[in-house]
Amino acid sequence: MTEAPAPAVERVTGAFFARDVAVVAEHLLGAVLCTTSDDGVSGGRIIEVEAYRRTDSCCHSFRGRTPRNAAMFAAPGTVYVYLVYGMHHCVNFACDREGQGDAVLVRALAPMNGVALMRARRGPTAAPDRLCGGPGNLCRALGIDRGIDGADVATSPRIALYEGARGADETVVRSARIGVVGAPGDVALPWRWRLVPAASRRPVR
């Protein structure tokens, strides 16, 4: 008997990240971010990202390399995880050339894999439509913390990205980044990208 051929799911390689951070950011939309732990696989399609460039005063690497942000200066595709407000983790991927200090922040996923596991990690109070919505929420859902900082997303057994098609009914919306502090010119940079249904004209936030 014949089985339908499994869809080719290509893992995103390090070369993908060796480009300008803004290019990488937009191209990450639609890719699938997954983590694997003893509890199983969980993840979803990337639907919101932001770019951070070393030369921009909102960027963690703006004032140079520190123990906290060292992963931003590592090879393209290196995972950078930091703790904000003492309680939420955020996940990024280093981009462009090694030592550049540029990174893409992943801000939201559309849940795909391991939804029950993600719900368990988020707890009963998590709003169903915000399971992976927001950088802190998605890290909680996928079990991402500082323990994975410095991993290579192209080869790590714990975190991976897979190429994902962008639907014809989806469109990319660009805007200023959320919650950033810095020089007014940097705060205003349109370095946030979202994947939204084409029909939707609804402003978000």
Partner DNA sequence: ATGGGGATCGTCT
Partner DNA sequence: GACGATCCCCATC
- Summarize as ranges the residues that interact with DNA (CB under 7 A): 50, 52, 58-61, 63-64, 66-69, 72, 83-88, 90, 92, 103, 105, 122, 125-127, 130, 133-138, 146, 177-181
State the minimum distance, in angstroms, from the CB of residue 66 to DNA.
3
Task: Please name which of 50, 45, 9, 51 lies closest in space to residue 170, comparing C-alpha atoms.
Answer: 45
| Cβ atoms of residues 110 and 132 within 8 Å | yes
Cβ nearer to DNA, comparing 34 with 103? 103
Cβ nearer to DNA, comparing 112 with 141? 141
| Cβ atoms of residues 107 and 49 within 8 Å | yes
State the minimum distance, in angstroms, from the CB of residue 134 to DNA.
2
Cβ nearer to DNA, comparing 8 with 87? 87
State the minimum distance, in angstroms, from the CB of residue 192 to DNA.
10
Task: Please name which of 54, 35, 159 lies closest in space to residue 103, comparing C-alpha atoms.
Answer: 54
State the minimum distance, in angstroms, from the CB of residue 130 to DNA.
5
Cβ nearer to DNA, comparing 7 with 58? 58
Task: Please name which of 168, 156, 54, 41 lies closest in space to residue 104, comparing C-alpha atoms.
Answer: 54
